[in-house]
Amino acid sequence: MPRSTTVTYRVYNTPAEVAKAAAELFTSSVTAAANARGIARVAISGGTTPKAMFALLADPSQPFVKQVPWDKLDLYWVDERCVGPEDADSNYRMTREALLSKVPLPAERIHRMEGELAPEEAAARYEAAIRNGFKLEGAETPTFDLILLGMGDDGHTASLFPHTEALNEMNHIVVPNHVPQKDTWRITLTWPVINQGREVAFLIEGAGKAKVLHEVFQGTYQPETYPSQIIRPASGKLTLLLDAAAAAKLPEPTNGVGTLELN
């Protein structure tokens, strides 16, 4: 059975406000982790909302670029398409263009998934990189300080798509996942690893996400159909940063903040 989880959803009027809230969350999480443990480990996703957040983080007219302790940040990815780093579909390329090329994050602290390799090899190499970076032993699971997720209109998150093999994976940190509905391969963190994150947040916007958000968080528990339902962090806490259009079918928040209890 899924663990009990308190979902806090914060609703903003526009996608731009969601991006700003995400940049604030990124900055505060990285700063707190660096202060507490001397290092901050963050796993990010691709997509429109993270791109807007990255642009804010890198904007010299905004406070974030000076507030983030870049020299103490290790940046990882939640998932990647099986394409090279120069491909237009590469999550890494988007992040590099929007953020990495503009901020003082040391190259050795940027840990990309090698989407140009065969899926099995890319996943194995990324798992090894995480094990080395976190100094894991045996079957230990990494604990990221912050994991930022998106959600597709089919209820997928990371590259955990409906009715795909990765939903059954409990033992690995990273796996290749064949996605028949897109006729492609992806590389993804597994859901037990995502659930181990100290802070886990979805960034979701647009009216096209309203129905699936309602199904994921208020519908019947069926994670094979809606993989986002399997995200139940060990901390017992999950954050959603939403624009008003995406939140339209959730209970009306009070002063922009609502909560749901998942049992």
pLDDT in tens, 150-201: 999 999 999 999 999 999 999 999 999 999 999 999 999 999 999 999 999 9
Percent of the chain with pLDDT over 90: 97
Q: Using the CB atoms, write b or e for 182-194: b if 16+ within 10 Å.
A: eebbbbbbbbebb
Q: Establish if 117 belongs to a structural domain.
A: yes
pLDDT in tens, 42-56: 999 998 889 999 999
- Domains: count for the chain: 1
Q: Is the pLDDT of residue 113 over 90?
A: yes
Q: Establish if 32 belongs to a structural domain.
A: yes
Residue 30 and residue 37 in contact, taking contact as beta carbons nearer than 8 Å: no
- Report the DSSP beta bridge partners of residue 177: 186
| Interatomic CA distance for residues 155 and 47, integer angstroms | 15
pTM recorded for the entire structure:
0.98
Determine the residue type at 224. Answer: E
Average pLDDT of 131-152?
96
Give every CB contact of residue 99 below 8 A, 6+ residues apart in sequence. Answer: 54, 55, 57, 58
Q: Establish if 211 belongs to a structural domain.
A: yes
The pLDDT value recorded for residue 252 is 96
Q: Establish if 126 belongs to a structural domain.
A: yes
pLDDT in tens, 218-250: 999 999 999 999 999 999 999 999 999 999 999
> Any idea what DSSP says for residue 62?
S
**H-type alpha helices, 110-241:** 119-134, 191-195, 210-218
- The H or E element that residue 35 is part of is helix 15-37
CA 84, 85, 87, 93 dihedral sign is positive
Give every CB contact of residue 246 below 8 A, 6+ residues apart in sequence. Answer: 204, 205, 206, 207, 209, 210, 213
Report the alpha-carbon angle 45-49-53, nearest 5. 90
State the Cα torsion 189-194-199-204 to the nearest 10°: 80
The pLDDT value recorded for residue 48 is 86
CATH code at position 183: 3.40.50.1360
Q: Which domain holds residue 51?
A: 14-236
Average pLDDT of 244-259?
97
Q: Is the pLDDT of residue 261 over 80?
A: yes
Q: Establish if 94 belongs to a structural domain.
A: yes
191: left (phi over 0), alpha (psi -120 to 50) or beta: alpha
Q: Establish if 101 belongs to a structural domain.
A: yes
Give every CB contact of residue 178 below 8 A, 6+ residues apart in sequence. Answer: 119, 164, 165, 184, 185
Q: Establish if 261 belongs to a structural domain.
A: no
CA 102, 71, 78, 223 dihedral sign is negative
Q: Is the pLDDT of residue 110 over 90?
A: yes
Q: Establish if 262 belongs to a structural domain.
A: no
Q: Is the pLDDT of residue 1 over 60?
A: no
Give every CB contact of residue 77 below 8 A, 6+ residues apart in sequence. Answer: 43, 44, 45, 46, 91, 92, 95, 111, 112, 113
